Amino acid sequence: MGGGASKNPNRAQSAAPKTDAAVAAKLGKVLATGNITKVILIRHANAKPRDPEAAAVEAGQVLKPETPFANAWTVGDLVRPLTEKGEQQAADSRAAYLDQYALKAVICSEAERAIKTKEIMTAGLGFGPGEPGVLTLHTLHPSRSGTPNCEKMFDTLGYGPLTKFYTDTTVEGLEGKGKEIFREYVTKVTGELHALISSGQASFKQDGDTVAIFGHAVFLNAVAVAVAEAMAIPQADDVVAVLELGEAQGILCDASAKSVTLLTAPPPPAAE
C-alpha cells in the first residue's frame, strides 16, 4: 500500500510509485500470459433504491461502529434489484458494445444489481451461475472495499469522476487527501485482481481475449486505473480520472492499443 506515510510530501510522492509499479507489473504479467489484452469495467445498470425501513434496521445491527459513514451498505444495498429501465440499459449496452468482444471470463461484485447486469449482458455466452470463468471480487462493492476513507468520501461526495475525489478539500478529516486515499485502493485491488485471476484462470475459456468486470461507480473507476497501469498504458491515472461512468457504461482498457475508452450505448430515441 505505497510504502507507508511520510511527513515529507515529496518523499511520499517519490516512494509510492515504486511499490505501485511492482504490484502493477505482477498483474500485467498474469494478464499477458493469459492472453488477456482487453478488460472492460462495466458499471451496473439502474437499480431500485434501498428499502428505507430495512436500511434503518440494518444501520443499527449490521454497520461496523467504526465506519458509520458506510450508510448501511451491507445487506440492504447488496440486494437491490435492477429496475425495468436498468434491464433495458443492460440489454442495450450489450448490443452496443459488449457483443464486439470475445470474453474469456467475467469478474463481478457480489451485489445483486451487478450480478443481474452481468447476466443480461452475457446471456448465452456460458457465464451463468456456477459456470467456469465466473469469479467474484467482493471488494468491488464500496462496503467490502476495506478502505473506510474511500467509503467516507463516496458517502459524502456521491458520484462523479475520480478527479472530483482527487481534488476535494471538503470532506472533514480528509481534506486534500483524496488522491492518496484512492491510490491506496488502486494498489490494494491490483494485488487482489492478480491473486484472483492467477487462481481462477484455469477455468477461463481458451479462446477470447477479454475479461469483463461488473461493479460500482467511482470504485470501478479506480479498478480501471489499476488495470490500465498494469497494461502500461501511458498516463493511465490521468486518462481514467476524468471519465464519468454512467449506468451500464464501460471503460475499455486495451493493452494492444495502449488506450482507455469510455463505452456507451446510444440513447433511446426521443418520443414523438
The DSSP secondary structure of 206-272, one letter per residue, reads SS--EEEEEE-TTHHHHHHHHHHHHTT-TTHHHHHHT----TT-EEEEETTTTEEEEE-PPPPPPP-
In this structure, is residue 226 part of a structural domain? yes
**Burial per residue of 3-33, b for 16 or more beta-carbon CB atoms within 10 angstroms, e otherwise:** eeeeeeeeeeeeebeeebeebbebbbebbee
pTM: 0.87
**Rounded to the nearest 10 degrees, how much is the dihedral formed by the CA atoms of 41, 47, 51, 54?**
-30
Say how far apart CA 194 and CA 32 lie, in whole Å. 12
What does the pLDDT average to over 7-16?
A: 40
Share of the chain above pLDDT 70, in %: 82
**What is the domain-level CATH number for residue 193?**
3.40.50.1240
Residue 77 in contact with residue 219, Cβ under 8 Å?
no
What does the pLDDT average to over 28-35?
A: 97
- pLDDT range class, residue 19, cuts 50, 70, 90: low
- pLDDT range class, residue 6, cuts 50, 70, 90: very low
In this structure, is residue 119 part of a structural domain? yes
Would you tell me how many other CB atoms lie within 10 Å of the CB of residue 83? Answer: 15
In this structure, is residue 268 part of a structural domain? no
- Is the pLDDT at 60 greater than 70? The verdict is no
Backbone angles phi, psi at 39, to 5 degrees: -130, 125
228: nearest Cα among 31, 14, 15: 31
Task: Give the pLDDT of residue 52.
Answer: 63
- Is the pLDDT at 133 greater than 50? The verdict is yes
19: nearest Cα among 204, 196, 184, 251: 184
In this structure, is residue 1 part of a structural domain? no
Task: Give the pLDDT of residue 266.
Answer: 83
In this structure, is residue 238 part of a structural domain? yes
Domain count, the chain: 1
* Mean pLDDT value across the chain: 87
All three cell numbers of 17, joined, read 510509485
Assign 3-state DSSP to the chain and report helix, strand, coil percentages, each to 5.
50, 10, 40
All three cell numbers of 29, joined, read 504479467
Say how far apart CA 164 and CA 244 lie, in whole Å. 10
- pLDDT range class, residue 62, cuts 50, 70, 90: very low
Q: Which residues pair with 250 in a beta bridge?
A: 42, 263
What does the pLDDT average to over 129-155?
A: 90
Task: Give the pLDDT of residue 15.
Answer: 39
Q: Which residues pair with 252 in a beta bridge?
A: 40, 261
In this structure, is residue 128 part of a structural domain? yes
In this structure, is residue 3 part of a structural domain? no
Strand bridging mode 134-136 / 210-215 = unpaired
What does the pLDDT average to over 52-77?
A: 56
What does the pLDDT average to over 138-149?
A: 89
- Is the pLDDT at 124 greater than 80? The verdict is yes
All three cell numbers of 262, joined, read 469510455
Residue keyed to cell 464486439: 100
Domain housing 123: 14-46+81-263
Residue-wise pLDDT tens digits, 96-107? 999 999 999 999
- Is the pLDDT at 208 greater than 70? The verdict is yes
In this structure, is residue 207 part of a structural domain? yes
- pLDDT range class, residue 10, cuts 50, 70, 90: very low
